[in-house]
A and B are shown apart, each in its own frame.
Chain A
Amino acid sequence: MKLQRSSELTVKGVGRRLGVALMGVLVVLSGLLVLLATFQQVTARRSSETRASADDRRAFYLAETALNEGMTALRAGSSGAVGSEAAPAYFGGGVFWVEATDLGSSRTRLEATALAGSGRAALEAVVEVRPQEPLFRSVLNSKDPLGMASGVTVDSFESELGTYASQATNSYSGIPFAKDNGDVCSNGSITFAAGASVFGDATPGPGYTCSFTGSSYVSGSTLPAADVFTFPVINVPSTPVTGPLTVPNNGISTLTTGSYGFSNLTIGNGGTLKVQGPAKIVCTDFTGNMYGRLEIDATNGPVTIYVQGLYTHVNRFEAVPAPGSPMAVAFMLSAPQTISFPPKAKLRGAYYAPDSEIQFTSDDEIWGAFAAKKVSMASSTKFHFDESLMDHWDNPAGKVDPLDLLVWRRIGVTPQSLLLDHRDPYTVLGVNKNALLSPAQSWL
């Protein structure tokens, strides 16, 4: 047997051990690599699932935003449509569009589609646009109980359609009338003296009733209101005061469209103040002297006169419409006072005096609307509610969301190809992200 030297034994032994270590390291490394790859795959899958879930949620919230944008557009008088598939609105890192379909009867169907990352969502809502509550909803409206004097007649007409005389073609028991929307309202009770005739509804306050004496007549409902009418506080616009405005006797002054502030506004005897609407006039005291004329041209909008002090209406003063114009003028009287219209007064337009009493004396004839704390009248006064007044002044206290949501639901995303393509929305739709408009700019 050949003996080896101890040094050879050592070197060969070390070599063998090094080989084993290398193999061991390689095996461990391979194992680690496999583990790493598996872990990386699991992490990537989980990350992808999380991202997809988050994108779906983002798309859903974006679709809700889209519906709200469509509703906001509807409230503003737009069609409710926002953007389109070809030109969606960009918002919050995603895109959306809203299709609006007019269903008639003030109803609109909104279909919102939203894309965010790989998420897609679509929602549908059917909404109804309700009209705002008008400030002048009847010819007479009082906070306190209302007494209709004997022989009083109430009917309605529309100054936008022409004169009252041209519309008063109907008759009931020998009483001529135009339309039967001449409503009278009160937050309290309503009493009718003999011979009072109302071509319209008589609506007492909640819990109150109408009471009749003799042969009084109401053509419509006499049921009480469901809610108390809220008389809003007058919100006087802040307009710089430029001093008094006095129309000289027999003189003519003109105010064009705009806002005006006067310390006092006086129309002298036989003087005429012509006002072109839309206009807002703020003054402390207002005086209309004998044979004075306030001529209103509301062809392009109404005229509102805010009187913060006393309102004085001298005998034979009249507010009249310009030829061809509706009579859209309203006096907003904020100071508590008693406004007594002189006998045989011819009154046109609307008066809102929530803290005042309005008195109609003998043989007055009114073409307009009056809302006040208290209203009293002489017998045989003739009231003709001008329905056109309802279009110009809303009741801010009665203002509610004009949009009524009838139904809301999730719907399938269309076209379906959007669901199958998980690329980013801009690529899928073929649009340039930088050229997209904001939602408000995308109203159609």
Chain B
Amino acid sequence: MKRTSKSGFSMLELVVSASILSFVLGMPLMIFRSAERMRSSVTTRGDLQAKTRHTIDRIAGRLAGSSAGMIPQSLLGAGQWSSIVDLQVAIGWNGATVDWGTPERLALLVSPEDPDDGVDNDTDGMVDERIVVWITDVGLGTQRTTLVRRDVSELMAGEIAGNGIDDNGNGLVDEAGLAFEFVDDQVVIRLSLQGLDSSNAIIEHTEERRIAFRN
């Protein structure tokens, strides 16, 4: 009996050693999780930035080949915005005038999976997100819609819906997550995308680019 009692541990020793062990294992775990959250956040932001730029690249590529005169929304002028652009792109020169392509439209639409009802219908963690589509041959039998980008914010980052105030200070009031502003022969494209990091926190990224119509 005496030998047995000497070879074991007291309850106090077990508790202390278990505490130390959980502390020693827990600290790296906490650090790891914190680092992982940070990595996830940075990765999400990086992805959002890349997606935003890529989307603006595509939109800018179409708009650059058009002309302010071929875009009805250009009459809105500075300080006004539209989330839809109807355009035609130059496809050649016939010796006297520019040949224009068939009508196209770039538009911000409500996502079919998440209707505009304030509820996260598609349970992706984001509410009422929008999509950007590119519609070619508008009004023709060959009309075709191509999805350009999902997860577009309903409103531009920093903007509060329907308060009639330029909350984010970019010169536009209550603008949507995709907004076109026409200034002389140029157009300013603003786009806000959103995504979730590993802790399901919503991250937004906004970019704007001003391009000149070449035609």
Q: Which single member of A57, A60, A109 contacts B93 (CB below 8 Å)?
A: A109
Listed stretches A263-271, A298-306, A341-349, A404-412; interface member: A404-412
A112→B149 CA distance, assembly (Å)? 30
Scan residues 92-129 of chain B and give those whose CB is less than 8 A from a CB of chain A: 92-93, 95, 98
Nearest CB of A to B8, in Å = 14
Name the CB-closest residue of B to A56.
B57
Name the CB-closest residue of B to A109.
B93
Q: Decide: A53 and B89 in contact? CB cutoff 8 A.
A: no
Residues of A contacting B50 with CB < 8 Å? 50, 53
Nearest CB of B to A148, in Å = 39
Q: Decide: A408 and B65 in contact? CB cutoff 8 A.
A: yes
Nearest CB of A to B102, in Å = 14
Nearest CB of A to B172, in Å = 26
Q: Decide: A410 and B98 in contact? CB cutoff 8 A.
A: no
Summed over the interface, the residue pairs from A and B with CB atoms below 8 Å come to a total of 35
Residues of B contacting A320 with CB < 8 Å? none
Q: Decide: A408 and B54 in contact? CB cutoff 8 A.
A: no
* Residue of A53, A126, A408 with most chain B CB atoms under a 10 A cut-off: A408
Q: How large is the interface on B (under 10, 10 to 19, 20 to 34, 35 or more residues)?
A: 10 to 19
Name the CB-closest residue of A to B101.
A409
Q: Decide: B54 and A409 in contact? CB cutoff 8 A.
A: no
Residues of B contacting A57 with CB < 8 Å? 57
Q: Is A103 close to B, CB under 8 A?
A: yes
Q: Is B90 close to A, CB under 8 A?
A: yes
Over the window 49-86 of chain B, the binary record of Cβ atoms lying under 8 Å from chain A Cβ atoms (1 yes, 0 no) is 01001100100010011000000000000000000000
A419→B61 CA distance, assembly (Å)? 19
Q: Decide: B54 and A407 in contact? CB cutoff 8 A.
A: no
Q: Which single member of A50, A109, A126, A409 contacts B89 (CB below 8 Å)?
A: A409
Nearest CB of B to A193, in Å = 44
Q: Which single member of B53, B57, B91, B95 contacts A409 (CB below 8 Å)?
A: B91
Nearest CB of A to B190, in Å = 19
Residues of B contacting A409 with CB < 8 Å? 65, 89-92, 214-215
A residues apposed to B, CB below 8 Å:
50, 53, 57, 60, 103, 109, 125-126, 405-410
